[in-house]
Amino acid sequence: MNQNASFEKALTGMLPEELFLHLNLDKPFRSRQLFRWLAAGANSFDTMTNLPPALRVKWQTEEILYSTSVEQKLVDPDGTIKLQIQLADGAAVETVLLMDAAGRKTACVSCQVGCPMQCAFCQTGHIGYQRNLSASEIVEQFFHLEKHAGKLDSIVFMGMGEPMLNLDAIRKTVTILTHPEGRALSKRRITVSTCGITDGIRSLADDGPDIRLAVSLTTANETLRSELMPVTRSNPLPELKKAIAYYNETSGKRVTLEAALLAGVNTGESDADELARFAEGLNVHINLIPWNAVPGLPFTTPSGNETAKFVAMLESRQLNVTLRTHRGRSIGGACGQLGKKS
């Protein structure tokens, strides 16, 4: 089999009914058994002891269980794990295990090789774009992380790439990971983050999946945002606000607005005013993320004092704000650093 196309045939990207047809099985329960083994993290047919030996031998030579492998593992002192995942065509992506103060584990997975959005403050946007990932390549990131870190509590599509440009694969991944006969992850524990693709936000509202939405806003100043995030030129802020309002109304869910704080760029009084005006009438929560430094990019991380002042400005405008802590910075695993050579 052509290994460059193996991600299209990897069994990790199939549902029980697809496994049944693909493997030409005569008993549907066999595909469900296999699906459960995959959800449990089995990466060898030899371990699937309740399947007939003859089938396991046949599949070992004819089928592709995983199309990806872990090329490198880095561990930050704060417990963050970053895996570099080697793909069948020679490309690579990164996926990160984040752990909060309560010990909850979250998989931050990639959906594209590189990213076409070219956000000025993001490392991934500066390494170019190659292609979308298949559902199996995304699912396998989750399974690889569970193998290295134990059972995960949640997943966020916030790694390399723009999820709304690969929404079909995102939907398939969610269907696989939430399937009751498989990993059975709760949809309440799944978040997709977009830089502001309004068509994708509306599609998510109309057609699901019923998961959480985060929007990387960074600034509510149209001119500044167009400079920092070129997506603004085709998805202007008034249209983005309408799309978020539509998602609020259609899904009944709150949306998280994320802002990477850049020292002296988007942390002033006028920035707080514009953010408050953008949030007016929306059901949103604000996540502030002090910028994680990337060598060669013309920004600096705001001081603790600058950050605290901006938080106070937003709170005085009656906004719900959370200040995120830095995690995984020493291994290039923090927000905006994926693709950084560690």
Residue partners of 302: CB distance under 8 A and separation at least 6: 261, 262, 263, 264, 267, 290, 291, 310
Domains, the chain, ranges and CATH?
3-62 (no CATH), 69-331 (3.20.20.70)
Q: What average pLDDT does the structure give for the chain?
A: 93
Could you say which of 63, 71, 94, 122 is catalytic? 94
- DSSP letter for 185, please: -
- Give the distance, in angstroms, between the CA of residue 217 and the centroid of all CA atoms in the same chain: 16
* Residue whose token pair is 């069948």: 88
Q: How far is residue 132's CA from residue 316's CA, in Å, rounded to a whole number? A: 42
pLDDT value for 1: 34
With both helix axes pointing from N to C terminus, report the angle between 304-316 and 269-279 in degrees, rounded to the nearest 10.
Answer: 40
Among residues 95, 161, 94, 86, the alpha carbon closest in space to that of 125 is found at 161
Q: Which residue has the tokens 């997709």?
A: 192
Over residues 228-237, the pLDDT tens digits come to 999 999 999 9
The dihedral built from the CA positions of residue 226, 232, 238 and 240, taken in this order, carries a sign that is: negative
- 3-38 pLDDT, tens digit each: 445 566 899 999 999 999 999 999 999 999 999 999
Q: What is the pLDDT of residues 196-229, one digit of tens each?
A: 999 999 999 999 999 999 999 999 999 999 999 9
pLDDT for position 342: 45
25 CB burial (10 A radius; 0-12, 13-18, 19+): middle
**What is the per-residue pLDDT for 127?**
87
- Mean pLDDT value of segment 186-199: 98
Query: What integer pLDDT is reported at residue 336 of this predicted model?
Result: 59
Pairing of strands 69-75, 154-157: unpaired
What per-residue confidence (pLDDT) applies to 151? 95
Distance, in Å, from the CA atom of 226 to the CA atom of 203, rounded to the nearest integer, reads 23
pLDDT at 332: 53
The string of pLDDT tens digits covering residues 323-336 is: 987 665 555 545 65
Start-to-end CA distance of the chain, whole Å, equals 34
Whose CA is closest to 40, among 191, 160, 146?
146
pLDDT the model gives residue 4 = 43
- pLDDT value for 198: 98
| pLDDT score recorded for residue 121 | 93
Given a cut of 50, is residue 2 above it in pLDDT? no
- Provide the 3-class DSSP secondary structure of residue 1: coil
Which residue has better confidence, 128 or 140?
A: 140
Q: What is the mean pLDDT of residues 122-140?
A: 93
Taking alpha carbons only, the member of 25, 149, 133 closest to residue 98 is 149
Report the percentage of the chain scoring pLDDT > 90.
85
| Active site (annotated) includes residue 335 | yes
Question: Which run of H or of E encompasses 279?
Answer: helix 269-279
Highest mean pLDDT among 108-117, 292-301, 332-341: 108-117
Instruction: Kindly name the residue from 108, 122, 195, 335 that is annotated as catalytic.
Output: 335
Q: How far apart are CA 210 and CA 230, in angstroms?
A: 28
C-alpha closest to that of 180 among 15, 3, 7: 15
pLDDT in tens, 308-320: 999 999 999 999 9
